[in-house]
Structure 1
């Protein structure tokens, strides 16, 4: 399911993988968020290859967003190491709600 969402929408693997690992596999919140990145990496690589072969890439945008994403990834990993499981769940849930509202509106 995560691969389907990642390939079809260009993202979304984490919104499926993290809750599945927490609720179905009984993983701790922090472990699920960190593990989700490793799980999503090959899904993203395969989806990116297919999009590249189809000519959907805009290279001038990719470099800018990738640089910002790398910086955000460093900051996010630093915060993950310092946030309590309670607040991690609340922030992640709020992010999912905001993303859903933006997609509907």
Structure 2
């Protein structure tokens, strides 16, 4: 039961991040999956991607019903994102975890600095 609460809290944080910011669920999922479920980091990254897909779909549906989603604008990004996801999925197993952690950290840091400085 205790683990179920941890998992639900982790999912709720990821869902809230997705709903508020349009992305960012992995910011919560990756470290918490690794810490709370003891998943190996590579599996935590991959599991995060699997969880974020339905969370993103739910967020997109909510935005669509509220008139905040423009599918025509989103299509090119969706196609590019799918291609990038396929390439990254194939390369993922070959990337050293230390470098993957560093890049992940740098992306979070970059996003944080941009958000704070409003660049």
Alpha-carbon separation, structure 2, partners of 1:61 and 1:71:
17
C-alpha displacement at 1:44, in angstroms? 1.1
1:50 to 51, 59, 62: 62
What is the distance in 2 between the residues matched to 1:67 and 1:16?
26
Q: State the Cα deviation string for residues 56-91 of structure 1 (Å, max 9, x = none).
A: 112221111101101110121122111111111111
Distance 2:113 2:90 in 1: 28
Cα distance in 2 for partners of 1:32, 1:66 equals 23
Q: What is the number of equivalent residue pairs in this alignment?
A: 105
* TM-score with structure 1 setting the length: 0.92
CA distance in 1, matches of 2:111, 2:71: 25
Unmatched tracts of structure 1, length 5 or more:
none
Partner of residue 79, structure 2: 67
Tell me the C-alpha RMSD between the 2 structures. Answer: 1.1
User: What secondary structure does 2:94 align onto?
Assistant: coil
- Matched with 1:88 is 100
TM-score normalised according to structure 2 size = 0.82
- Consecutive unaligned residues in structure 2, runs of 5 or more: 1-12
Distance (whole Å) between structure 1 residues aligned to residue 107 and residue 88 of structure 2: 13
